[in-house]
A = this chain, B = another copy of it.
């Protein structure tokens, strides 16, 4: 067996264990009976330990080292080896003691966060979060970085991501988007109360499946189930599952989770099965992943042509609720812009203020410019400044997201990157497919999907996010595309 073949076998063995963990986690969120939780956590922990042992075995490191100098590899093979070797190197920098300390800190922080939410008091969470932040500062030190310590954290979610690239993006959010939203706020608000009428859950569920089908989601290589928080998970490009939740008094939840998770799932289903478990068989980054979910959710799913195609069907199902609603009124309702407290239910414009705030806080924490004990105050001040609203309590403020309790620092920016990439990719798709809007109006989404498959999905990690963006759109990530999309769309809706 040649060395590259040996590499594939080993790497795919690791992937098999990770995918088994993903199956156990999927089951945990969908079907696990309540008493089964404790043993399930233990089973997942055991598999995680096994995956870590296999992925850090010294013989594996030697194989990767030797292979990097092999000149007979193709471009794709070389990418696989180099990215895997990079990961191995990084993993090896952490002592077992550090990994265990981090696991414990995360377990403690998760419980502290839960208790703090119950008590509605950030002070309950602060000590555990302080430990997490200390560990994250240490992580930056251990990993090393060229420009900014925060880059070391970004890398886990956005390989090669740079604080020096992301900072100006959020400066644009601050200088352009804040102003634009303030203009919107001065216009008459759109009417959306009919979205909160009663919509029967089974009918919503069926409609959601139709939307997924129409997008091109392959139900022979996936399925949709219900969970408390919608998510996408992949066990191979041929088994990519989505979940949704249905709220009978809010048509938004099912609709946007189907389109959003469907977008993530199309990316995973579009990866090459022959690179299963290898870097070229994995998504380029979380930012690119989010670009796919946002593109389908917002650029397609919240567009006028999309509802020209689909509104009649929706109204056919919910005759009573939508009797007096036309498709344009529906379109305006689903694009209502209004500053609000909770990130996950924000509209697609004010959403980025929520991320801006988290990015500024994370960066300042890592730089040591602010401390955890002052976070609630800082948080509330920023919500007043950027969103113009008062945070009534910690549960609706600094305690709302789970990420920090999981130790996920550097994750939030990828949400905004996703929207910005989506706008730029969608503009490129429109240039490539001149009648794209008419196709969407006709409910035909196949050519768009084929374009995404060819230009983005198939490459996996062959290119970094930045390289991919350059290749697909001819330029680096450029906030102007998002701003232009926002001005055109919301200018029309709000009569600006």
List chain A positions with a Cβ less than 8 A from chain B: 12-13, 16-17, 19-20, 23-24, 27, 31-36, 38-40, 42-43, 46-47, 50, 218-223, 225, 235-236, 238-239, 241, 276
B236 contacts A33, CB within 8 Å? Answer: no
B39 contacts A17, CB within 8 Å? Answer: no
B276 contacts A33, CB within 8 Å? Answer: no
A39 contacts B223, CB within 8 Å? Answer: no
B276 contacts A35, CB within 8 Å? Answer: no
B16 contacts A221, CB within 8 Å? Answer: no
Cα–Cα, bound, A42→B273 (Å): 13
Instruction: Give the residue of B33, B219, B221, B236 whose beta carbon is less than 8 angstroms from that of A221.
Output: B33
- 29 A-B pairs with C-beta separation under 8 A: A12-B42, A13-B46, A16-B43, A16-B47, A17-B46, A20-B46, A23-B27, A23-B43, A27-B27, A31-B223, A32-B239, A33-B220, A33-B239, A33-B241, A34-B220, A35-B220, A36-B221, A36-B235, A36-B236, A36-B238, A36-B239, A38-B238, A39-B235, A39-B236, A39-B276, A40-B235, A40-B236, A40-B239, A43-B235
Q: Which 6 pairs across A and B sit closest by C-beta, in order of nearness?
A: A36-B239, A39-B236, A16-B46, A35-B238, A35-B221, A16-B43
A362 CB to nearest chain B CB (Å): 35
A417 CB to nearest chain B CB (Å): 30
A403 CB to nearest chain B CB (Å): 27
Cα–Cα, bound, A34→B225 (Å): 16
Instruction: Give the residue of B33, B43, B50, B220 whose beta carbon is less than 8 angstroms from that of A222.
Output: B33
Instruction: Give the residue of B24, B36, B223, B241 whose beta carbon is less than 8 angstroms from that of A20.
Output: B24
